[in-house]
Structure 1
Amino acid sequence: MTKLVTVFGATGQQGSSVVRELLKNGNFKVRALTRDPSSEASKSLKELGAEVVKSNDTDSKEAIQEVLKGSDAVFALTIAFAQNETDVGKKIADAAFGAGVKHFVFSGLPPCNKISNGRIIVPHFDQKYLVEEYVRELSESNPSFISSFVYAPFYYQNFKSFVPKKNENGDGGYTISLPSNGKPMDMGDVDNIGAIVCEILLNENKYSGVVVPFSGGALSGPEIANIFSKVSGKSVTFKFIPPSIFRTFGFPNANDLASMFEFYNEFGVFNDLDQSIASKITKFTTFGEYLKNSNFKLD
């Protein structure tokens, strides 16, 4: 029987990857939730065969529950920095449970506060983990409501913002500046998340209660710079920016991001989670492959 999967944030980076992979697999029908069904991104999902439905995570639980009716499974996520993620995530979980959804897949992140014994607080990580705990409680008290979890690494796509800058001394070289100077940082192409979620949905009992973190590779700052150099053909060096300095830069969410890098530097992106699960599911894009595929260039 073909399963109906409802995907939140369907036009976003994670959601669109999940929608495309599920439709490509052929075992699923997809209901794609979006704030704007008339957008070009929404239209492209509809052309692929998705049922595109207007829905907003700020809607009431009752409204979301109505949208989820008939769904066998849900892929859900909460948007960093844009909301109280814990409240929104719990509302979505309650709506899914109320709608009779059998399998709830949530995109979460490690609990920095818990792992660091309260020393490092990263709201967009910690709030997601509170949602995960709540979803697990729902599953434990209601065995027919299966839950699974996927953790994404630091996106390669973030380097559209953290781009190497041309050196001011005129030597023709470039510098990539990051607050990363501890453990190698797990990174990955967010487009790879679709294959993980598809596998989880195809094998709900196998992945019941399981966290699946994925990574295209763990790289140090100098290794990141070296790959930029190889792909661009330009000299790129790495410069470490202490998180304490990064906090003062004044752009949106600098404080939270600085804390995130503090956590990465000490504990790694996933701490001690088992990454071998994901490696058995699909082949992940390396950083060099991502840069080449995106036609990365330095002017």
Structure 2
Amino acid sequence: MSKLITVFGSTGQQGGSVLRALLSNGNFKVRALVRNPDSDASKKLKELGAEVVKSDDSDSKEHIESALKGSYGVFLVTNFWSYFDKEYEYGKKIADAALSAGIKHIVFSGLAPCKKISNGRYNVPHFDLKHQVEEHIRSLSAANPSFVSSFVYAPLYAQNFQTSFTPKKNEDGLTYTISFPSDPSGKLLDVGDVNDIGSIVAGIFSDPTKYSGSIVPFSGDALTGNQIADTISKVTGKKVSFNYIPPSVFRTFGFPGADELATMFEYYNEFGAFNDLDKSIAPKIHKLTTFEQFLNKVNYKLE
């Protein structure tokens, strides 16, 4: 009998990947929680075979609990960039609702506790608030052994090199420069295709005993800035050079989130995305996409 998994963030990158992987697995049914069931994105989820239910992270605990009823498992991803300092409040509420709804297995998309690992030197709210949610979920599992919890950590999305960190054409009209705050003397930058998360989460749901309490970080590649530039050059046939922007300079750019992203890169440069976590678990669940494979898959071009 197929197990019903309720997926948060189904119209987003992580939730969408998880939804598609679960549906293609054959052992799961999926309930997608969405803000607007009548949106085009929600209609596409229905076409894929998902049950679509109206629910929002800001809803009451009782409403969320009702939306989860009858589910075996929950995939939870919280979006700091939508509700900022309320991320822990909303994540905690959803976890509490999951426990009350009789959920047997929750998989939460978390991130490293930067402030804790750096002894307070690096405060990255969209990491640290997620870790607070993780700690709360772990406390629920400790008090309720039938409520299994597992965790998956994503790296810097390879998709960011299609948006935030795209190479810019130089004045010669022939060569390109890609600029971001990954220190050449620091830790390698973990990069991964966010679409890999779906198969990883499906694997975790398939073996709750094995992955109970586990953190599964995934990374298709760990690269220097120069290696990223060289890979883009190889795939596109265009000469791309890497320009290191120190986080202190990046911080002054002034766009929304610049300060937080600068601190994130300071953390990455010193500790890496996953610090001392075991990156060998995810490749045993699913073959991960390298950065070069990702660029080829999306037919990456430079104009």
Q: Normalised by the shorter chain, which TM-score bucket?
A: over 0.9
Q: For residue 9 of structure 1, give the secondary structure of its aligned residue in structure 2.
A: coil
- CA deviation vs aligned residue, 1:106-163 (integer Å, no higher than 9, x gap): 0000000000000001000000000000000000001011000000010011112210
Aligned length: 298
Equivalent position to 2:195, from 186, 191, 195: 191
Structure 2 distance, partners of 1:95, 1:51, is 19
Q: For residue 82 of structure 1, give the secondary structure of its aligned residue in structure 2.
A: helix
Between stretches 217-226 and 80-89, larger displacement belongs to 80-89
Residue 275 (1) aligns with residue 279 (2): yes
Q: For residue 206 of structure 1, give the secondary structure of its aligned residue in structure 2.
A: helix
Letter in 1 for 2:274: F
Equivalent position to 2:170, from 155, 167, 172: 167
Structure 2 distance, partners of 1:58, 1:254, is 26
Q: Which TM-score applies when normalising by structure 2?
A: 0.97
Q: For residue 32 of structure 2, give the secondary structure of its aligned residue in structure 1.
A: strand
Aligned counterpart, 1:107: 109
Letter in 1 for 2:78: T
Q: For residue 276 of structure 1, give the secondary structure of its aligned residue in structure 2.
A: coil
Q: Which runs of 4+ in 1 moved over 2 A?
A: none
Letter in 2 for 1:165: K
Between stretches 158-167 and 133-142, larger displacement belongs to 158-167
Q: Which TM-score applies when normalising by structure 1?
A: 0.98
Aligned counterpart, 1:230: 234
Measured on the aligned residues, the alpha-carbon RMSD in Å equals 0.8
Equivalent position to 2:262, from 258, 264, 267: 258
Write out aligned runs for 1:1-299 (5 A).
1-83=1-83, 84-159=86-161, 160-168=163-171, 170=172, 172-181=174-183, 182-299=186-303
- CA deviation vs aligned residue, 1:26-63 (integer Å, no higher than 9, x gap): 11110011112222221111111100111110111111
CA drift at 1:171: 5.5
Structure 1 distance, partners of 2:47, 2:240, is 41
Letter in 2 for 1:134: H
CA drift at 1:254: 0.5
CA drift at 1:293: 1.2
Letter in 1 for 2:196: N
Structure 1 distance, partners of 2:294, 2:35, is 29
Provide structure 1 residue ranges, at least 5 long, that are not aligned to the other structure.
none
Structure 2 distance, partners of 1:13, 1:81, is 14
Provide structure 2 residue ranges, at least 5 long, that are not aligned to the other structure.
none
Structure 1 distance, partners of 2:40, 2:227, is 37
CA drift at 1:252: 1.1
Structure 2 distance, partners of 1:201, 1:56, is 23
CA drift at 1:231: 0.8
Letter in 1 for 2:253: F
Q: For residue 205 of structure 1, give the secondary structure of its aligned residue in structure 2.
A: helix
